Each structure stands twice: as C-alpha cells, then as structure tokens.
Amino acid sequence: MESHVSDMMKQEGQTLPLAERASVITVIINEAVGLGPLERLIGNPIITEIMVNGPDEVYVERRGR
C-alpha cells in the first residue's frame, strides 16, 4: 500500500523531504484503510479507552483516567 501511494505521489510530481513524505503517506493510508485520526490514539499504549460521540466530541482515557 505504501509503495502504491508513493508511486501516485511521484506521478503527480510531488517532491517532499523524506520525513514529510512518510508522514503524508501514513495519513493517506490511515484515512483510506484505517480509522483516520484515531489511529494515532489506538497505537498509544497509555490510552486505555476512546469514546467517540460525534465528530467534535471525542473522549480519551489515559491509564484509566
């Protein structure tokens, strides 16, 4: 998936520094096949619960609090 997104960026003529390019690729993949902005929360071992009540109402529990 990463190589496909990278190839698409090259076809569009996008030239970004390597770190920024990797960040853009991660965001695109998370949006396309993951849970979008929640992916970074889910991957954090400190977070014990996530409750989403709507697009502007997200509660995050860290270490049980």
pLDDT of 14 over the 80 cut: no
pLDDT of 31 over the 90 cut: no
Q: Which residues contact 42 (CB under 8 A, 6 or more apart)?
A: 35, 50
Task: Please report the pLDDT score of residue 55 as a whole number.
Answer: 87
Task: Please report the pLDDT score of residue 44 as a whole number.
Answer: 93
Mean pLDDT of the chain: 89
Strand locations in the chain, DSSP E? 47-54, 57-62
State pTM to two decimals: 0.59
Q: Where in the chain are the domains? A: 2-62
